[in-house]
Amino acid sequence: MVMAWRFFFLGKPLLNPNPKFPKPRSFSTSFLITKTPNKHKPKRPKSDSPRTRPVTPDSNKIPQFESLLDRDATFRFLTKTKEFLSKQSEQILRLDDAGKLHRELGFPRGRKVARSIARHPLLFTTHRHSDNKIWLGFTDLMDQLLLEETSIMEAMEEDRVTKICKLLMMSKNKRIPLSKIYHKRLIFGIPEDFRDKIGKYTDYFRLVVEDDGKQVLELVNWDPSLAVSALEKEFLVNEDKVKKAFKFPVKYGKDLDLEENDVKKLNLLNTLPLVSPYSDGWKLDLWSLEAEKYRVGIIHEFLSLTLEKRALIHHIVEFKEELSLTRQTYEMLKRQPWTFYLAGTEMNWAVFLKDGYDENGNLIKKDPQVVFNEKLYKFAQMQDEELSSEFGEK
């Protein structure tokens, strides 16, 4: 009997038991999400390359120094565009042309320059010219800031001349190509027009044109009062601090089976005295301990002359011939973590002079140009209404 009923129902379609409800219809499933959204997909690990690989392991990083490099990247468009526009006729640039100058203006390649301009409305503006083209220029506030910066540079001119003299005195032949100083002038606070003022300081240096047309700045008079490094000055004030600044361990010191205190004393004897960066250390045997002391002193003094007591490795390598540096500079600096900190990636890293900063990562002594730059960065992050409210409160 049961088998008969099964045969009956399998052989014929079932009737709708309730005719009040219509037969269900087929429907589209196109609206259903069949792929995993990108935000839910596992993130791909960053490619391990010199472009992304940190020069200092995460366990040893100093966030305050790393954040300064991030700040530089954030304001790259501001600093580069300010410099580029300042040299243009009437300090304006057609927007169509600006869009092709991603390297000169410091905005990401493939991006629209208008996006970068909009980030700093208090400093940059655009307007339509009579030729119906849109032009990029400075705001009135930016014009005032540039005048303030000019007055700072004029007030600091003697200091910048001293920096140039000290660079020449450290160099191997007491001469440096003018182009190198010009290209790296910003880290020392040297003004754009310093080349035009060389004639004012003929008692310090002179311009020499070589047979191939290259312009070279050459030291004229050696000033003994300038041939004193920042480290030597510090030694007179805090001898113990300088003794701990560098360490040049005695080779095979562990094999001598000495006690810890004896090893420290032996290493200290090996470390001091240091070799002055204003000496003829370039004549020393290239791989000798004294030669390494000399090169370490050169880097220390070079960074001491910079505005922010730091420099990208590209800035330093620019002067490698004049300062007698070797390809082992990176390894040399890694051996001195008490004095130098390396930040950034292996492809583009910076050297910080730790002595120039406090425990919070702030410069201990700020040059007037640094104070101005920080003021400029503050305005760069503000909108029109924020400026109005700030001055309204005052």
User: Which DSSP string corresponds to 316-377?
Assistant: HHTTTTTTT--TTHHHHHHT-TTTEEEEEBSSSEEEEEGGGB-TTS-BSS--HHHHHHHHHH
CB atoms within 10 A of CB 167: 24
pLDDT at res. 9: 47
Report which residue type is found at 15: L
The answer to whether residues 196 and 225 touch, using CB atoms and an 8 Å cutoff, is: no
pLDDT at res. 289: 87
Q: What are phi and psi of 367, to 5 degrees?
A: -65, 145
Its CATH architecture, for the domain 65-138, is: Orthogonal Bundle (1.10)
C-alpha angle with apex 227: 340 to 273, nearest 5 degrees?
55
3-class state of residue 131 by DSSP: coil
The answer to whether residues 370 and 363 touch, using CB atoms and an 8 Å cutoff, is: yes
Q: What are phi and psi of 294, to 5 degrees?
A: -65, -45
Per-residue pLDDT of the chain (394 residues; tens, 9 = 90+): 545 555 444 555 555 555 555 555 665 555 565 667 776 777 666 667 878 889 999 899 999 999 999 999 999 999 999 999 999 989 999 999 999 999 999 999 989 999 999 999 999 999 998 788 999 999 999 999 999 999 999 999 999 999 999 999 999 999 999 999 999 999 999 999 999 999 999 999 999 999 899 999 999 999 999 999 999 998 888 877 787 788 876 655 555 555 555 555 555 556 767 899 999 999 999 888 899 999 999 999 999 999 999 999 999 999 999 999 999 999 999 999 999 999 999 888 999 999 999 999 999 999 999 999 999 999 999 987 666 656 555 5
Residues with Cβ within 8 Å of residue 272, at least 6 apart in sequence: 243
Overall pTM > 0.85: no
pLDDT at res. 387: 65
CA–CA distance from 202 to each of 29, 155, 207, 226 (Å)?
A: 84, 20, 9, 17
Q: State the Cα–Cα distance between residues 115 and 106, nearest whole angstrom.
A: 12
Domain spans in the chain, listed from the N-terminal domain onward: 65-138, 144-374
Distance in angstroms between the alpha carbons of the first and the last residue of the chain: 100
